[in-house]
Amino acid sequence: MSEPNEAQSALWNKRGGEIWVEQQPMLDRLFQPFERILAEAVEAAGARSVLDIGCGAGATTLAAAQRLGALGRCVGLDISATMIEAARRRAEAAGLVNIRFRVADAQTCDLEPAHFDAIVSRFGVMFFADPRAAFANLRRAAAPGCRLPAAGCRLTLIAWRSPADNPFMLAGERAASAFLPELAAFDPTAPGRFAFADAERVRGILAAAGWAQIETTPLDVACALREQELDVYATRMGKLGQLPPHLDEATRAQIDEAARRAYDPYVEAGEARFSAACWRIEARAG
Using rule CB under 6 A, residue 49 touches ligand SAM: no
Residue 105 CB, nearest approach to ligand SAM (Å): 4
Does 192 bind ligand SAM (CB under 6 A)? Our answer is no
- Residue 5 interacts with ligand SAM (CB under 6 A): yes or no: yes
117 contributes a contact to ligand SAM by CB under 6 A: no
Give the shortest CB-229-to-ligand SAM separation in angstroms.
16
Nearest CA to 156 among 285, 281, 286? 281
Residue closer to ligand SAM, measured from CB, 92 or 264: 92
Contact positions with ligand SAM (CB under 6 A) in 95-114: 105-107
| Closer CB to ligand SAM, 159 or 258, in the complex | 159
- The whole-angstrom separation of Cα 258 and Cα 268 is 19
Distance in angstroms (rounded) separating the CA atoms of residues 146 and 82: 37
Segment contacting ligand SAM by CB under 6 A, of 71-79, 145-153, 245-253, 254-262: 71-79
**Alpha-carbon dihedral sign for residues 147, 211, 45, 64:** positive
Number of residues that bind ligand SAM (CB under 6 A): 25
Instruction: Determine which residue in the list 62, 63, 68, 79 makes contact with ligand SAM, applying CB under 6 A.
Output: 79
Shortest distance, position 207 Cβ to ligand SAM, whole Å: 21
Q: Is 80 in the site for ligand SAM (CB under 6 A)?
A: yes
Among residues 17 and 163, whose Cβ is nearest to ligand SAM? 17
Are residues 284 and 153 in contact, defined by beta-carbon separation less than 8 angstroms?
yes
User: Are residues 2 and 8 in contact, defined by beta-carbon separation less than 8 angstroms?
Assistant: no
* DSSP 8-state code for residue 195: T
Q: How far is the CB of 25 from ligand SAM (least distance, A)?
A: 11
CA distance 20 to 28: 10
CA-to-CA dists, residue 144 to 13, 32, 46, 117, 147, angstroms: 34, 30, 14, 8, 6
Q: How far is the CB of 183 from ligand SAM (least distance, A)?
A: 18
Measured distance CA(65)–CA(99) in Å, rounded: 6
**Which residue in 39, 55, 68, 155 binds ligand SAM (CB under 6 A)?**
55
Q: Applying CB under 6 A, does 127 fall inside the site for ligand SAM? A: yes
By the rule CB under 6 A, 122 interacts with ligand SAM: yes
* 196 lines the binding site for ligand SAM (CB under 6 A): no
Q: Does 37 bind ligand SAM (CB under 6 A)?
A: no
With both helix axes pointing from N to C terminus, report the angle between 15-22 and 6-13 in degrees, rounded to the nearest 10: 40
- Bridge partners (DSSP) of residue 215 are 282
| H or E segment to which residue 19 belongs | helix 15-22
CA distance linking residue 231 with residue 236, whole number of Å: 8
Among 23, 39, 56, 87, binds ligand SAM (CB under 6 A): 56
Interface with ligand SAM in residues 261-280 (CB under 6 A): none
* Length reported for the chain: 286
**Cα–Cα distance for residue pair 144/261, rounded to 1 Å:** 51
Whichever of 61 and 147 has its CB closer to ligand SAM, that residue is: 61
Q: Under a CB-based contact definition with an 8 Å cutoff, are residues 95 and 141 in contact?
A: no
Residue numbers at the binding site for ligand SAM (CB under 6 A): 5, 8, 12, 17, 27, 31, 54-57, 59-60, 77-80, 83, 105-107, 122-124, 127-128
